[in-house]
Chains A and B, each alone.
Chain A
Amino acid sequence: MSKETKQILSTDGIPLEESLKKAEKKNKIKAFLLVCPLLLFLIITYVFPIGEMLFRSVDDKMVTNMLPKTYKAMENWDGKDLPEEDVFKAFYLDYKILVEEKRHGKLATQLNYEKNGFKSILKKLARKQKKFEEGNYKDQITKVHKRWGQVDYWRAIKRRAPAYTYSKYLKGVDMYENEDGKIVQVPENRRIHKLLWMRTLNIALGVTILCFFMAYPIAHLLATLPMKYSNLLMICVLLPFWTSLLVRTASWMILLQQQGIVNDFIVWIGLVSDDNRPEMMYNKTGTFVAMTQILLPFMVLPLYSVMKTISPSLMRAGKSLGATPAIAFFKVYFPLTIPGIGAGCLLVFILAIGYYITPALVGGASGTLISNQIAYHMKETLDWSFASAMGLMLLAGVLAIYWLYNKLVGVDNIKLG
């Protein structure tokens, strides 16, 4: 049977498949040329930067390239006691070149990430090494500063030997590889990232839930009202959407600050006394309120588009068959809106988990999220590889949620419009 199908020929005697390919070739080329600009754009603006970010987050060649001789000499060092003379000599020679080329500052920054206190002793070494005599570098270097005689510092240098490292990822979850090569948590008072991750998850989840409960009735109203009212309501939903994000966040600042409108109002109606105004901004509350308002349309629109397709006669059918309005809603209407709920929640959650401007402006210290920390490392500490690592962890988190959603509900059930 299969052989017969292979031998089908067109009227001209060419095999059918070949003739089909020939006929479709032009169309295929046309289609490819049409998607080409977008494909290129995506590769340049998305695939390439993400790849670059991934590379940067694990790339550790800088120190490796700065101290080539040292690492060669360190290969035979077991790391238990202070290294031998040959390591000291190699380090002196490497460092001398760096000082001459004025690149030793970068090394100091890099090694200081690894262990605090490197900056000062490297600076001191840079000054003193000019007067070094040939031979017995171990003594000369350890004399510069007593820390050079501590084995920890040499171990720290050795830890930077590999060209690639996952230490940034460990740092992102408040862990590090200690001197013995074991992965341990940082001291409790320095565990800041874990807190930020949890807070980001909490706020994203909370905002998603708040958005859902507020958007569901609105979307239902939108879908069932007569056209002239629903259009007006739709504009009310979309108007904030068209307003600049910054303007909206700023307006929340005006509303929520301690001398702001909301506070003035609750003092005026006597809910709280004037000298006891609650803080509604520069904390979690501010982040919650502002983000919920800003992300609300992203929940309303998918819900609305799904609800619009649900025939009102279904609810009527449910009721006519004897179901109370509540049962008819939960058994008939609600299950049919699940694709919209899934799409809306996924959209809001993913947007919320990486939200930046709003928490930065109204979040204060207790309301900042992981994205603010990423921005901080991008702009302030200039530890781009750490920022990249955290960015990728965020991306991985989003993909994991997407995967989970696909397992539980199925991506085919998403309806965005």
Chain B
Amino acid sequence: MSKNKEFVKFDKVDKSYDGKVLVVKDLNLNIAEGEFVTMLGPSGSGKTTCLMMLAGFETPTNGEIYLNSNPISNIPPHKRGIGMVFQNYALFPHMTVYENLAFPLKVRKILKDDIDKKVDKVLSMVSLSGFEKRMPGQLSGGQQQRVAVARSLVFDPQLVLMDEPLGALDKNLRESMQYEIKHIHESIGVTVVYVTHDQGEALTMSNRIAVFNDGKVQQLSSPDKLYEEPVNSFVAEFIGENNTFSGEVTDFSKDKCKVKLTSGNEILANPIAIKSKGEKTRVSLRPERAIIDPDSKMENKFKGKIEEVIYHGDHTRVRLNLLENKEFILKIPNSSARMDIKVGNELNVGWNSFDARALDPK
């Protein structure tokens, strides 16, 4: 059986809470069966609202959501059969771990023996066997989180929603949980829609990421494409670090354009969102794509003055004043070779035109 490419489908969905402001604007989004899709965006961008509409706790103001080709707007949440992990876990504090996990099975009137088997299985999956009799309050944050994940999976839903499930954990635990959730997803092949505002989390876990801003999906693509090839300035700046130059396009061909910066210099860039000469643009360049002491083949070569040096252990971040941009960041691997990186010194910096993406001016 081929996998359904439109397992979850948002079709022209609008959402407004007060009738004045649209929180979600004309959302069209397809999620394939078995996919791990992350909705990423700053707070207030509409990503959680989308999740709540999918779960059934909010109704779309306009448009329709399809689950496995069936419209679900009129189906109440308890009949949708969608597992959900909440931001604060939402474990029932008056029930033991076992009772929490058995809850979705009991309301489905499954036999006691089968419940025991399923609870055992799901507990061993999140490596919490033997914790059945504990109360949620007796568990650590990470354990509670794992119980919450187990509970959302125990009744074999086809779709699991996760609303910033790792937000309350400390950094190390968050990272190990990211892998754990990813492995669970891979091993049972369930479709996951994951909401987060943490880009690192989104990049490591997802098959595809939908970047939300201002109620709209800005870009929906795989993590590497999202990072390497952002389609607009918002995505470029939201994901990872970014050096930007504002300017005007003075020359334009199919895969190259010349941008005149406010400082008067001209740089060569890769036209992504540029259609013609004379447009205003914002050129985006990843810090790791700019190198020091470039060879003569590099298309863009400039001199910059070191403003600040920040030691980061494995690498050093250098802030340069380059082409009147005082926030130009360079990442230099730590080695004994470069002893001249000191505040006030000058550095030769260069990059390929392909890596400098000319995007919308914002």
Contact yes or no, A316 B107, CB < 8 A: no
Q: Is the pair A325, B78 in contact by a Cβ cutoff of 8 Å? A: yes
Among A330-338, A343-351, A381-389, the stretch that binds chain B is A330-338
Q: Complex Cα distance A70/B58, Å?
A: 89
Q: Is A189 on the interface with B (CB-CB < 8 A)? A: no
- Known contacts A322-B78, A322-B155, A323-B78; A316/B103 CB under 8 A: no
In the assembled complex, how far is the CB of residue B130 from the closest CB belonging to chain A, in whole angstroms?
23
Asked whether A321 is an interface residue with its Cβ less than 8 Å from the other chain, the reply is yes
**Is there contact, CB below 8 Å, between A328 and B78?**
yes
A45 within 8 A of B: no
Q: Is the CB of B90 within 8 A of A311?
A: yes
Q: Would B81 and A322 count as touching, CB distance under 8 A?
A: yes
Question: Does residue A7 face the partner (Cβ distance < 8 Å to B)?
Answer: no
Are A320 and B92 in contact, CB atoms less than 8 angstroms apart?
no
Q: Is A245 an interface residue (CB 8 A)?
A: no
Contact between B94 and A320, CB atoms less than 8 A apart: no
Q: Which residues in window 139-187 of A have CB below 8 A to B?
A: none
- From known contacts A331-B103, A332-B92, A335-B94, infer whether A320 and B77 are also in contact, taking CB-CB under 8 Å: yes
How distant is the Cα of A318 from the Cα of B108 in the complex, in angstroms? Answer: 12
Query: Which of A320, A331, A332 meets B78, CB within 8 Å?
Result: A320
A327 to B103, CA, bound (A): 11
Residues facing A in B112-142 (CB within 8 A) are none
- Give chain B residues whose Cβ lies under 8 Å from the Cβ of A314: 90, 92
Chain B residues numbered 56-90 whose CB sits less than 8 Å from any CB in chain A: 56-57, 76-84, 86-88, 90
A335 to B107, CA, bound (A): 17
A27 surroundings in chain B (CB, below 8 A): none
Chain B residues contacting A319 (CB-CB under 8 Å) are: 56-57, 76-78
* A150→B321 CA distance, assembly (Å): 123
Interface flags, A326-366, vs B, CB<8A=1, else 0:
01100110011000000000000000000000000000000
Cβ of B165 to closest chain A Cβ, rounded Å: 12
- Is B151's CB within 8 Å of the partner chain A? yes
Chain A's closest residue to B101 (CB) is: A321
What is the bound-complex CA distance between A327 and B77, given in angstroms? 13
- B contact residues around A318 at 8 Å (CB): 92, 103
Point out the residues of chain A lying under 8 angstroms from B86, CB to CB: 313, 316-317
Q: Which residues of A in the span 291-327 have a Cβ within 8 Å of any Cβ on B?
A: 311, 313-314, 316-325, 327
**A321 surroundings in chain B (CB, below 8 A):** 78, 83-84, 103-104, 107, 151-152, 155
Question: What CA separation (Å) do A319 and B152 show in the bound complex?
Answer: 12
On whether the beta carbons of A322 and B107 are closer than 8 Å, the reply is yes
**In the assembled complex, which residues on chain B have CB atoms less than 8 Å from the CB atom of A331?**
103, 107
Contact B104 A322 (CB under 8 A): yes
Residues on B with C-beta less than 8 A from A324 are: 78, 107
Tell me whether B39 is interfacial, beta carbon within 8 Å: no
- Chain B residues contacting A335 (CB-CB under 8 Å) are 94
Assess the A320–B83 pair: CB atoms within 8 A: yes
Nearest B residue to A323 by beta-carbon distance?
A: B107
| B77 touching A317, Cβ below 8 Å | no
B84 — nearest CB in chain A belongs to which residue?
A320
Enumerate chain B interface residues (CB-CB to A < 8 A). 55-57, 76-84, 86-88, 90-94, 103-104, 107-108, 151-152, 155, 161
Known pairs A317-B86, A320-B55, A321-B155; list 11 more (Cβ under 8 Å).
A317-B84, A317-B90, A319-B76, A319-B78, A320-B56, A320-B84, A321-B78, A321-B84, A321-B151, A322-B155, A332-B92
Q: List 27 A-B contacts (CB under 8 A).
A: A311-B90, A316-B77, A316-B84, A316-B86, A317-B84, A317-B91, A318-B92, A319-B76, A319-B77, A320-B56, A320-B80, A320-B82, A320-B161, A321-B103, A321-B107, A321-B151, A321-B152, A322-B78, A322-B81, A322-B155, A324-B78, A324-B107, A325-B78, A331-B103, A331-B107, A335-B94, A336-B93
